[in-house]
Chains A and B, each alone.
Chain A
Amino acid sequence: MSSSTWRVFLTTVGAILFGPLLILVLFSFNDSNVLALPFEGVTLHWYRLALTDPSLHAALLNSTLVAIVVAPLCLALGTLAAFGITRFRFRGRGAVAGLVAAPLILPWLVIGIAALMAYARADITLGLPTVIATQAVCTFPLVAAIVGAQLFRFERIQEEAAIDLGCNRIQVLRHVVFPHIAPALAAAGIFAFTWSFNNYEISAFTLGFQQTFPVWVYSSVRDPDHTAVVNAVSALISAVQVLLIWGGLKLVRRRTTDEAATAMITGAAHTGARP
């Protein structure tokens, strides 16, 4: 295929993936409450409305709070799981690996409903803690997959060499293992944070009466008076996310090779699907 055919193909894919969001950003400046052409003039009115909406404030605060707790929790649990599965040979290793992979394969709806039943059965009131608990257990396997892919690329013999040279285990972790998996940890942390911040399905079943950002968007989308405000907020949040994720991944990329960076990203998809 010629290079111009490829260019058309790539542009089309790019337009399908990012076009709707760009148009959303454009319409968020439109001086009309209706989502339609023609363009009525530029305004920041919707942004002003969005920034002063108390229910939106609460939702954004809740989502941020949940993600701030979930991400480090997932980093800790995921790294332990990755380390245990890649560094030790023991009976039942396959079963543990399967158990860790399972939340990545099962739909969030299925997990969310099971969680709802279990919380009801144990008489636990739904709220942010229940969302955090269920999100953490669905997200740390992703961290395990990303960090595991990096640990797998790393010869265990290097750790043994460090031990032979007189390092104790803490020193091995601190000076040999940690520098090696640091980029993977950073990438995994970014993913865990955004997965948590954006998650609708699990929140819908385990949140009770509070709102997170995706839940707020969900309820506002059905309200025609709200669309312009939703556009403005969505545009803002998406822009912040693109900048943070892109910047973060670029930073990760600078600390490691192209090859390791692609392995980390593909590793998530790869090891994740090995039941």
Chain B
Amino acid sequence: MTRQWVTSETRGALAVLAAPTTALVVLFVVPFAVLVQMSMLKFPPNETSGLTLGHYRDVITDPLNVKIVLTTFAMVTAAMAVMLLIALPLAYYMVFKAGRRELFLLLAIVVADELAPVVRVYAWQVILGRNGLINSILPGPPVDWLLYSPFAVVIALVTSYITYTTIPIYAAMKAIEPVTLEAATDLGAGLFHQFWRILLPLAAPGILVAAILVYIPMYADFVAADILGGPSSYMLGQRVRDVILEEGDWGTGSAMNIVMLGLSGIFALIAYRLSRLNRMAT
């Protein structure tokens, strides 16, 4: 019986994986093939309109797009930096200091992510608005730049993605033997040295996983910027959505989407390779 279980492996895999793989091919791979086709049609969705690479040229040469990419890069990178500043100590605390409260903290971070994201983003309006909580506490004329600004969008991005930044780093730190840190303390390494020479290198794979799970989706985020942003924080995700849904320009929109897909893929591959390299080196 055991032998049969082993030798029929490929057939078994085929039977078990048939449904999920078919679903992925039909509803995930095929749509991307259609997307490629649309991005190369002169007047999509009209299939007889002829083929062109003009949409890609338009996407790359439009100075507005370049400006939007730069704004998005700045905001997303700022959010990522803030999240690392929060996630690294938080993960460290959960693994090495929390003791019995570790699981509670983990569940709290998960619950924070599972709350309705649109609502969570919107809630910041109550705090940052012209008549919001901060302005009603602060003396003097209301501060206007709190809401509908890059500042507000970065805050919303941080709260939206902090869970997926913290958990991979937590998982990586979980693999560190506490003895390693104790040994470092015994040998006289200060907190800074322990962090810089032990914790950070060993947590690096987790940071790279977090980068894949968080940095890529943030580039395409449009909820935060829609609800809390203004003209100065117009993001890439909003641009792609507007080109397709508002302007109805499927050719350019598809080409933009393909470019984003390609860049996401390249970034994920680099981060993945780095995390593997790092794992081998340590």
Contacts and interface: CB of A to CB of B under 8 A. Distances in A.
Interface of A: 1, 6, 9-10, 13-14, 16-21, 23-24, 27, 34-38, 76-78, 80-81, 83-85, 87-91, 93, 96, 99-100, 102-111, 113-118, 120-121, 133-134, 136-137, 140, 144, 160, 163-164, 169, 190-191, 194-195, 197-198, 200-201, 204-205, 213-214, 217-218, 221, 230-231, 234, 237-238, 241-242, 245-246, 249-250, 253, 258, 261-262, 265-266, 268-270, 272-275
Given A77-B20, A88-B10, A120-B45, A238 B220 contact: no
A87 B122 CA distance: 44
A269 B116 contact: no
Nearest to A190: B114
B9 interface: yes
B35 A106 contact: no
Given A34-B131, A117-B35, A198 B117 contact: yes
A25 B170 CA distance: 31
Given A90-B10, A110-B220, A246-B107, A214 B27 contact: no
Nearest to B213: A273
Nearest to A261: B103
B213 A272 contact: yes
A110 B118 contact: no
**What's the dominant secondary structure at chain B's contact region?**
helix
B10 A200 contact: no
A92 to B, nearest CB: 9
Interface of B: 1-2, 5, 9-10, 12-14, 16-17, 19-21, 23-24, 27-32, 34-35, 37-38, 44-45, 86, 89-90, 93, 97, 102-103, 105-112, 114-120, 122-127, 129, 131-133, 136-137, 155, 158-159, 162, 164, 167-168, 170-171, 174, 191, 209, 212-213, 216-217, 219-223, 226-227, 237, 240-241, 244-245, 250, 253-254, 257, 260-261, 264, 268-269, 272
A249 B257 contact: no
Contacts of B123: 20-21, 23-24, 234
Given A117-B250, A163-B5, A269 B209 contact: yes
A266 B23 contact: no
Given A13-B90, A21-B123, A99-B24, A217 B118 contact: yes
A225 to B, nearest CB: 15
Given A21-B119, A103-B28, A110 B260 contact: yes
6 contacts: A17-B159, A34-B131, A106-B216, A117-B254, A245-B110, A265-B106
Nearest to A143: B20
B48 to A, nearest CB: 14
A258 B101 CA distance: 11
Given A198-B118, A200-B117, A83 B133 contact: no
Contact of A107 (B13, B108, B217, B254): B217
B264 A110 contact: yes
A23 B133 CA distance: 9
A50 to B, nearest CB: 13
Contacts of A1: 191
* Closest CB pairs A-B (n = 8): A107-B220, A36-B131, A20-B123, A118-B31, A88-B13, A84-B17, A266-B171, A114-B31
